[in-house]
Amino acid sequence: MSPQPVAETIDAFHRGRFHLVQPHGRGHRAGMDAMLLASLVMQDGAFRVADLGAGAGAAGFAVASRLPDAEVVLVERSPDMAEFARKSLALAENAPFSSRIAVLETRRAEYEDWLSRRNEFMKQAEGQLIEIYKKMAPDAAAPQLEETNVILAAAIIMKLPPRQSSLILTEMQPDKAAKVAAIMSSAGDSTTSKDPS
């Protein structure tokens, strides 16, 4: 049994200045509330606006169609509603301003790529950082780790060999060493809150 296609309508707003693809028979449909919200946006010159919880994008489309220097980002967590916004962007009637509107999901791939590259860099940097501290004398490493964020210091010390870790903790100021040790001991405890500090 194949899935039923979602019924949709194409509706004109602002006397035909823009058109919106919307669900028919389910989901949220735009109305006067979106138009009133969009009418409150007044700005001369170039600016950006985010429509949070954009649905099919009515408020954002209204701003972009009315203000020629506006750039609009439609933020919508529902993939179905974001898809309606994308369909609306593809309509020929919306071509005069569609290049100034972005659906956040369009940028999701860019964000995921950036996050992937960042995580890979962090893995490499973390490994190199651990190697640097492995080669340092404990009396040289301790003062540097005292000046570091306590969670980061604990993470670094935990990845060092046990003997070196204990020597570094011995060289640290007692209050800093106690905080680091508390974080290290709670790191393996599943009943501890997510913020070990």
Q: Which residue has the higher pLDDT, 121 or 17?
A: 17
What's the confidence (pLDDT) of residue 59?
94
**What 3-state class would DSSP assign to 113?**
helix
- Other CB atoms within 10 Å distance of the CB of residue 183: 21
The answer to whether residue 27 scores a pLDDT higher than 80 is: no
Instruction: Tell me the sheet residues that pair with 20.
Output: 11
The answer to whether residue 63 scores a pLDDT higher than 50 is: yes
* Superfamily in which the 8-106 domain is placed by CATH: Vaccinia Virus protein VP39 (3.40.50.150)
pLDDT band at 193 (very low <50, low <70, confident <90, very high): very low
8-state DSSP, 15:
G
Map out the domains of the chain as residue ranges.
8-106, 119-187
The answer to whether residue 188 scores a pLDDT higher than 70 is: no
**Burial call 54-70: b when 16+ CB within 10 Å, e when fewer:** bbbbbbbbbbbbbbeeb
* End-to-end CA gap in the chain: 53
Taking only the tens place, the pLDDT of each residue in 45-61 is 899 999 988 989 999 99
